[in-house]
A and B are shown apart, each in its own frame.
Chain A
């Protein structure tokens, strides 16, 4: 015969102080786990929003990122002329040379960071239609104007709409703020390729990368193969989705490791706390257990009853921890993109799988921690149980 669930729930809250404290300690484990993994989740979302499977990114052979890459613009022209590159409404190829430069800027709090500047050609806005102006207007090439990603505008004092800022040797005016649907471009400043190149006066005829768009993902793959096969170009091509997936892995890996190591160690600690509570429950209720056994409940029913209680403690703690972690969703965090050496700002994402992982962790903690007490409760002879007080 099974002991009704109601008995477990009521029992737990007879000694509510102990139970609540255990729930609190496990809930904090869940909070830390979800919080750290939300950082990894946010980075993944930001990079995933940046790639389009129809787009092909071309870098110098050997360069791992756009920041390290540069090649002559003559090659960029050859790339744009390749068959397989889609054409825009104006009949021009959907191709944009891009220049990536880094500039040290002060954050609002006075600390400093590298900000990525991206010089682009007009076709880029047809290739990346997700970029839209949310404040101000689009920049005009040749006029020393730039637009800044939404996240940067909020974090760097010089990058507010209407401000002037020096990049390299030239002053630029911030004329617009853009959003790329939460993508990693929100941490970049965009301007004309020529304007930014002039400002840094370095290698005035080179691009960091070229972005091409094919008419379909399959066409894009064919384009990648064509460029890879051409030994004379000394360039490497890859799908844009793959490029950003690499950055996502490289940058979120540390948080995934950190989150899991923390979670496992903290969960071990919390297991002992759960064990303590369940032992206290068992010893306080030895009389009750004896009575239940005397009434004819089997050992395994007693075991099951206490396991259910332990699982309940874990589950409640998991839900509480997840609820505490929910407000983290959408908070902005910033870190250095280890591959491009520039700051990336992103929103924390407590995705359903991360939340579920946290609740599961708590449930496990409760069950593992509660088992020894539940086992000993079910093993003790009725006579001993009833004699205790």
Chain B
């Protein structure tokens, strides 16, 4: 039986190959879309017991500096550190030179971001010098920065230009995206603007993830009647809120994915129909030999599923290779997308669609083959 199916596939090699090729392209696309969506929703850098506190109005609205000590006093809060998204322009405004730049507090940064590793000597050197900054190792490697190097960052959100000296390189084992940032002194920025005392976001480290709901409630209640109300949420929720703002992207990708799947369905269904039609006489002969309708049906479906899965597997393999290569290139021109990877979900979607399309496209020819009346089929002139 298996041999028969295999022979059938090879009977018209060109047709099988063409079908596999078109399936492959479609599956490559589907897996790319999935991998890309997974990248957007990736919160690997988020830690479950870290909270973000920001203005309830919007991120563009800063909070007062005085909120830090008050947040620190909430039960179960281990450490608090302020971060301001500086943005700015390094070298030029091409996307390849974009990375996160934060004004921060050297005294508390490492207490909250405990996964960042840097030597004590470097920590002290950074803290001691107003114009010093630290960079993640991945970023320092990219630009070839060495301790003592100076960089210039032109302000855009803030009307301040920065002249910074590298005093430390930190690592964040296992989370490459966390190493693509720099941190400098918030006092540098504050003084350049005549000390407005503003903080964009506070990051809080809690004792355990179980404390999240209670601390969120307390933090929001604490400032409910204050000048600036706040919103507190987990780091992951904070990151996903950006995706929520982008809006219909997920829906858009799903719609495209469905259109691609329908398109492959027609392609595979077409092949299966052609293959089945050619073999009408053969099916009749099999039935004459005593094969049951169900067996014939299973055979045709199995063949369709085999084509679907084979095309999908080739597509996934090509995708995995292409994505790895592409991520390396993207890292140079669009570092935000440098961590694109063939995720397990992408494999699942690719192979799943292959299986589904194979099954569905085999159904109709299989059903008509099983219902075929031997006399009609044998009488027909092929």
Q: Which of A21, A202, A266, A276 meets B18, CB within 8 Å?
A: A276
Contact B263–A39 (Cβ < 8 Å): no
Residues of B within 8 A of A310 (CB): none
Cβ contact within 8 Å between A28 and B248 = no
Q: Is A286 an interface residue (CB 8 A)?
A: no
Distance (Å) between the CB of B155 and the closest chain A CB?
Answer: 6
Measured in the bound complex, the distance between the Cα atoms of B262 and A28 in whole Å is 8
Please give 10 more A-B residue pairs, beta carbons under 8 A apart, in addition to A28-B260, A31-B259, A266-B26: A18-B273, A25-B22, A64-B93, A102-B59, A112-B241, A114-B58, A270-B263, A271-B22, A280-B15, A336-B246
Q: Judging by beta carbons under 8 Å apart, are A343 and B15 in contact?
A: no
Residues of A within 8 A of B60 (CB): 67, 101-102, 114, 341
Q: Is the CB of B18 within 8 A of A279?
A: yes
Residue of B28, B248, B263, B271 touching A29 (CB-CB under 8 A): B263
Return the chain A residue nearest B93 by Cβ.
Answer: A64
Residues of B close to A32: CB separation below 8 A = 256, 259-260
Known A-B contacts A269-B24, A277-B270, A335-B247; A104 and B56 likewise in contact (beta carbons under 8 Å) = yes
Q: Is B267 in the interface zone, CB < 8 Å from A?
A: yes
Q: For A29, what are the chain B residues with a Cβ–Cβ distance below 8 Å?
A: 263
Which of A18, A103, A113 contacts B245 (CB under 8 A)?
Answer: A113
A62 touches B159 (CB 8 A): yes
Interface string of B3-44 (1 = CB under 8 A from A): 000000000001100110111111011000000000000000
Which A residues fall within an 8 A CB radius of B? 17-18, 21-22, 24-25, 28-29, 31-32, 35-36, 39, 60, 62-64, 67-68, 101-104, 111-114, 167-169, 200-202, 262, 265-266, 268-273, 275-277, 279-280, 333-336, 341, 343
Partner of B270, one of A21, A102, A335: A21
A327 nearest CB across to chain B (Å): 13
Query: Is A111 touching B256 in the complex (CB atoms < 8 A)?
Result: no
Given A21-B266, A25-B263, A60-B159, residue A275 in contact with residue B245 (CB < 8 A): no
Q: Which label, helix, strand, loop or mixed, suits the secondary structure of the A interface?
A: helix
Chain B contact patch, size range: 35 or more
- Supply 29 A–B pairs (Cβ within 8 Å), ascending by A: A18-B273, A22-B266, A22-B270, A25-B263, A25-B266, A28-B263, A28-B266, A29-B263, A32-B259, A35-B256, A36-B252, A62-B155, A101-B60, A102-B61, A103-B57, A168-B57, A168-B61, A266-B25, A266-B260, A269-B21, A269-B263, A270-B263, A270-B267, A272-B18, A272-B21, A272-B267, A273-B266, A280-B274, A335-B247
Given that A21-B270, A22-B266, A25-B267 are known contacts, is A36 also in contact with B256, CB under 8 Å in the complex? yes
Question: Measured between C-beta atoms, what is the minimum distance from A28 to chain B in Å?
Answer: 4
Q: In the complex, are the beta carbons of A273 and B18 less than 8 A apart?
A: yes
| Minimum distance in angstroms from B31 CB to a CB of chain A | 11
| Contact of B23 with A202 in the complex, beta carbons under 8 Å | no
The chain B residue sitting closest to A324, CB to CB, is B259
Please pick, from B25, B156, B157, the residue contacting A272 in the complex, using a CB distance under 8 A: B25
B154 within 8 A of A: yes
* B317 CB, min distance to chain A CBs, angstroms: 16
CB of A26 to closest CB in B, whole Å:
8
- Name B247's contact: one of A25, A273, A279, A343 (CB within 8 Å): A343
